[in-house]
């Protein structure tokens, strides 16, 4: 690893830097990472992607298998994603070199004496699960894929992608910051009145990660589970009448680079097969309405620029969208990479402290060549105690 201090305890920006050779980057590269929405990658299409500060090419071969390889052709460096998917490989558009899904050059049509067997670009294995493409960007054999069986049953499963121009760790911390629900989202629709008061938070490290319990004075409790490196699972109020209970949610916060990240959110709505069509129609109509409104990003920018008051944000007609605007304001308000040296954490920040201590511990283990914790590859259903 480069530029790593071998004595200090990782903190502050150490959590935020995830490029190759960084401690947090090495931590990330131990896991399967959600990188793309499956339905967004059609057969025999290729797209450029940037993950953990690495520029890559994601493509889907003729068989339907997804592949992740380097972004540049090894010949003279043009962008491979602009090339042609050819069977299970991808062919550069410039002089026709072809690379397999394992990154091996397999054809050099312009070379009378091919040396393709000596040319290779990087490649990472991909798998698909719950409507997302996952990649393993580490070395050696990949670990078992994460498994979330409670998202595999009857119901409606859909994902949503959101890019924010800030470091991922702010969003990860926000996802286990139960206290902010009562302030930032006080006017968002949370069924069960979980935003009526400030919760008392308890938390514990588990075999799967972190369990956080948010106890309300009204007796309600919402749990959030954290699964390394950046997955959280929580319950969210139903939005439409077809739903038979709280939604189960999974959020994957994956660095594009140190100053931006993408969140893949999976929603599992408890809807019977008879109600499925009606649910999907209602959802489509609501998103159509939202698309006619001022973009959420613009509203957040207006508030951050002092041109709109936070309390004057117009109601969006969709609780999730309102919540996203509010979170965007809070997280972008911390800066692109939050300065954690000026914080004053209190007892209510117990989950944030635990999260950071786990990251520090695991990063030290990696740095010192000690064994990292073997986490369970699954987490329990998030809906408890409501």
Give the one residue of 97, 99, 134, 148 binding ligand FES; rule: CB under 6 A: 97
Q: Are 66 and 90 in contact (CB under 8 A)?
A: no
Binding mask 289-328 for Fe ion (x = CB under 5 A): --------------------------------------x-
Per-residue CA distances from 280 to 41, 189, 271 (Å) = 21, 20, 10
Please tell me the distance from the alpha carbon of residue 26 to that of residue 197, in angstroms, as a whole number.
Answer: 39
Q: Which two tokens stand for residue 368?
A: 């010192």
Residue range at the interface with ligand FES (CB under 6 A); choices 91-99, 233-241, 315-323, 370-378: 91-99
Residue 327 interacts, among Fe ion, ligand FES, none and using kind-specific CB cut-offs from 5 to 8 Å, with: Fe ion
CB nearer to Fe ion: pick between 320 and 350: 320
SS3 label, residue 123 = strand
CB nearer to Fe ion: pick between 26 and 327: 327
* 166-204 exposure pattern, b = at least 16 Cβ within 10 A, e = fewer: bbbbbbbbbbbbbbbbbebbeebebebebbeebbbbebe
Residue 73 interacts, among Fe ion, ligand FES, none and using kind-specific CB cut-offs from 5 to 8 Å, with: ligand FES
Q: Which of 131, 72, 58 is nearest to 101 (CA)?
A: 58
Q: Residue 23 contacts by C-beta under 8 Å, 6 or more apart in sequence?
A: 1, 4, 10, 14, 17, 363, 366, 367
Give the one residue of 73, 132, 133, 313 binding ligand FES; rule: CB under 6 A: 73
Q: Does 75 bind ligand FES (CB under 6 A)?
A: yes
Q: Does 76 bind ligand FES (CB under 6 A)?
A: yes
Query: Smallest gap, in angstroms, from Cβ of residue 261 to Fe ion?
Result: 15
Q: Are 12 and 24 in contact (CB under 8 A)?
A: no
Helix (H) or strand (E) holding 358: helix 350-367
Q: Does 95 bind ligand FES (CB under 6 A)?
A: yes
Residue 78 interacts, among Fe ion, ligand FES, none and using kind-specific CB cut-offs from 5 to 8 Å, with: ligand FES
Q: Does 114 bind ligand FES (CB under 6 A)?
A: no
**DSSP state at residue 61:** -
CB nearer to ligand FES: pick between 92 and 266: 92
Residue 26 interacts, among Fe ion, ligand FES, none and using kind-specific CB cut-offs from 5 to 8 Å, with: none
Query: Smallest gap, in angstroms, from Cβ of residue 125 to ligand FES?
Result: 23
Q: Which two tokens stand for residue 156?
A: 């409606």
Q: List residues near ligand FES by CB under 6 A.
A: 73, 75-76, 78, 92, 94-97
Site residues for Fe ion per CB under 5 A: 327
């Amino acid at each position: 690893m480069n530029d790593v201090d071998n004595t200090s305890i990782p903190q502050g920006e150490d959590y935020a830097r995830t490029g190759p050779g960084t401690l947090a980057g090495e931590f990330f590269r131990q896991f399967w990472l959600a990188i793309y929405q499956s339905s967004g990658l059609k057969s025999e299409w290729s797209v450029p992607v940037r993950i953990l500060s690495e520029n890559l090419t994601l493509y889907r071969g003729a068989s339907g298998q997804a592949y992740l390889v380097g972004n540049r052709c090894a010949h003279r460096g043009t962008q491979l994603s602009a090339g042609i998917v050819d069977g299970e490989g991808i062919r550069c558009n410039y002089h026709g070199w072809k690379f397999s899904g394992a990154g091996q050059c397999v054809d050099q049509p312009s070379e009378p004496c091919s040396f393709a067997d000596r040319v290779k670009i990087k490649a990472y294995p991909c798998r698909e699960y719950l409507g997302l493409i996952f990649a393993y960007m580490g070395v050696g054999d990949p670990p078992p894929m994460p498994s979330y069986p409670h998202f595999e049953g009857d119901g409606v499963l859909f994902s949503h992608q959101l890019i924010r121009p800030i470091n991922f760790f702010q969003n990860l911390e926000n996802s286990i910051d139960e206290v902010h629900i009562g302030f930032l989202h006080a006017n968002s629709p949370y069924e069960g009145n979980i935003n009526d008061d400030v919760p008392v938070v308890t938390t514990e490290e588990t075999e799967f990660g972190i369990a956080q319990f948010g106890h309300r004075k009204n007796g309600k409790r919402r749990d959030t589970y954290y699964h390394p490196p950046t997955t959280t699972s929580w319950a969210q109020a139903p939005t439409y009448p077809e739903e038979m209970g709280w939604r189960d949610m999974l959020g994957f916060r994956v660095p594009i680079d140190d100053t931006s990240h993408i969140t893949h959110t999976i929603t599992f709505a408890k809807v019977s097969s008879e109600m499925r069509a009606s649910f999907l129609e209602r959802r489509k109509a609501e998103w159509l309405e939202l698309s006619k409104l001022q973009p959420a990003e613009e509203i957040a920018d207006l508030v951050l620029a002092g041109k709109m008051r936070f309390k004057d944000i117009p109601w969006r007609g969709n609780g999730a969208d309102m919540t996203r605007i509010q979170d965007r304001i809070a997280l972008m308000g911390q800066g692109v990479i939050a300065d954690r040296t000026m914080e004053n954490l209190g007892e209510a920040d117990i989950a944030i402290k635990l999260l950071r201590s786990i990251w520090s511990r695991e990063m030290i283990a990696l740095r010192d060549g000690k064994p990292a914790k073997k986490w369970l590859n699954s987490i329990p259903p998030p809906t408890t105690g409501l």
